């Protein structure tokens, strides 16, 4: 049996997107086991296949150049991989890759399509076209090794009995997040006919969601109350998740729950739509030629008014439900 060692350390959504790719790859290649190296917090994402073995690490234990060297030598000693896959391609993983190469390993790395994404996010580019999906970019790494993998692009439901709506109104960057007053009004309307569960993290988000819970009947904030494993289980039991272009969309895909996703300065053309999610469930302002201005939502608004978010009509979300 061949052993592949793969690594990706962030971000939350990007790591979650690797999981269905790894599972379908292993199902189609029964003579392979896959060791996945990432941050310990992500462990519960990787319990979907017996030959998908997760190794969690903390970089507090591997600081600086010497720490990276120590980590890489430890991985070589413990796993003796036949293939090595860099699914991240950032400075830290480039360092790991260089050490693997010094030990005679060929390392296969993801092509993130940076040049294509620069063109896509050029606000003066009026001929925007969809790029390769990120999950296919992950799969390409295994294909380059000589393995066959055909992605289904279908999520798999973990729960049969689904009820209630999950709502994750926050995102890491302002360019991804619907104005809070719109989110509040959306919940106020939906809670008249559905039980709404709030998802979020961090002290400020928890405070906001707790306030909404006290103001809107038929809502419950789960922010800060669940472990990652428990959160995945709860999302699997929802009828629908409503999420920004954020990690919660990918968690919904991972557990087989339909997700209505809200996009502002980012765009699904960049390849980050949740695995198996339908383009019909995307809500965005279509007729803004400056979209997308960012791959990750971290750039300041060119117009200065975030029209891509402030002009969103929450009725579009209600209609899809």
Encode pLDDT of 248-257 as tens digits.
Answer: 999 999 999 9
| Separation of alpha carbons 230 and 233, rounded Å | 5
Q: What is the pLDDT of residue 125?
A: 95
Cα dist from 280 to 102, 104, 116, 239, 268, whole Å:
48, 47, 24, 17, 12
Sign of the dihedral through C-alpha 125, 248, 90, 18: negative
231, 233, 234, 240 alpha-carbon torsion, rounded to 10°: 110
Q: For position 188, what pLDDT does the model report?
A: 98
Angle at 249 between CA 164 and CA 281, to 5 degrees: 75
Reported as a single tens digit per residue, the pLDDT across 289-305 is: 999 999 999 999 999 99
Find the mean pLDDT for residues 187-211.
97
> Do 234 and 256 meet the contact criterion of CB atoms below 8 Å apart?
no
In this prediction, residue 252 carries a pLDDT of 98
Structural domains present in the chain: 2-144 (3.40.50.2000), 165-320 (3.40.50.2000)
Alpha carbon distance 40, 21 (integer Å): 20
pLDDT in tens, 168-191: 999 999 999 999 999 999 999 999
Span 267-291, average pLDDT: 97
Extract the tokens encoding 315. Answer: 């009725």
Instruction: Give the Å distances, CA to CA, from 177 to 41, 139, 250, 258.
Output: 24, 29, 16, 19
Residue 17: pLDDT band with limits 50, 70, 90: very high
pLDDT of residue 308: 97
Cross-strand pairs, 3: 33
Residue-level pLDDT at 99: 98
| 234-262 average pLDDT score | 98
Q: What is the pLDDT of residues 68-95, one digit of tens each?
A: 999 999 999 999 999 999 999 999 999 9
**What percentage of the chain has pLDDT greater than the value 90?**
99
Rounded Cα–Cα distance for residues 107 and 145 (Å): 9
Q: Which residues lie below 8 Å from residue 3, measured CB to CB, with a gap of 6+? A: 32, 33, 34, 35, 79, 80, 81, 82, 83
pTM score, two decimals?
0.96
Asked if residues 235 and 241 have their Cβ atoms less than 8 Å apart, the reply is yes
């Amino acid at each position: 049996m061949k052993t592949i060692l793969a690594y990706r350390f962030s971000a939350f959504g990007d790591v979650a997107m690797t999981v269905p790719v790894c599972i379908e790859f292993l199902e189609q290649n029964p003579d392979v086991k896959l060791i996945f190296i990432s941050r310990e917090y992500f462990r519960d994402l990787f319990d979907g296949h017996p030959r998908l073995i997760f190794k969690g690490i903390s970089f507090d234990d591997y600081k600086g150049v010497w720490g990276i060297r120590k980590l890489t030598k430890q991985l070589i000693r413990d796993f003796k991989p036949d293939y090595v896959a860099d699914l991240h391609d950032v400075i830290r993983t480039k360092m790991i890759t260089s050490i693997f190469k010094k030990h005679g390993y060929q390392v296969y790395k993801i092509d993130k399509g940076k040049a294509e994404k620069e063109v896509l996010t050029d606000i003066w580019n009026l001929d925007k076209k969809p790029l390769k999906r990120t999950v296919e970019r992950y799969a390409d790494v295994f294909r380059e090794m000589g393995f066959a993998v055909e992605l289904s692009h279908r999520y798999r439901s973990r729960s049969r009995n689904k009820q209630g709506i999950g709502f994750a109104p926050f995102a890491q960057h302002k360019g991804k997040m619907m104005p809070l007053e719109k989110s509040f009004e959306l919940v106020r309307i939906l809670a008249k006919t559905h039980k709404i569960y709030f998802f979020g993290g961090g002290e400020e988000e928890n405070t906001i969601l707790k306030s909404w819970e006290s103001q809107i009947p038929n809502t419950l904030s789960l922010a800060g109350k669940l472990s990652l494993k428990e959160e995945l289980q709860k999302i699997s039991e929802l009828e629908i998740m409503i999420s920004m272009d954020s990690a919660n969309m990918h968690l919904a895909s991972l557990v087989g729950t339909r997700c209505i996703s809200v996009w502002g300065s980012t765009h699904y053309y960049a390849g980050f739509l949740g695995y198996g999610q339908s383009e019909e469930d995307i809500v965005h302002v279509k007729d803004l030629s400056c979209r997308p201005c960012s791959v990750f939502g971290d750039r300041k608004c060119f117009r200065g008014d975030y029209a891509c978010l402030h002009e969103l009509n929450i009725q579009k979300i209600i209609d899809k439900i």
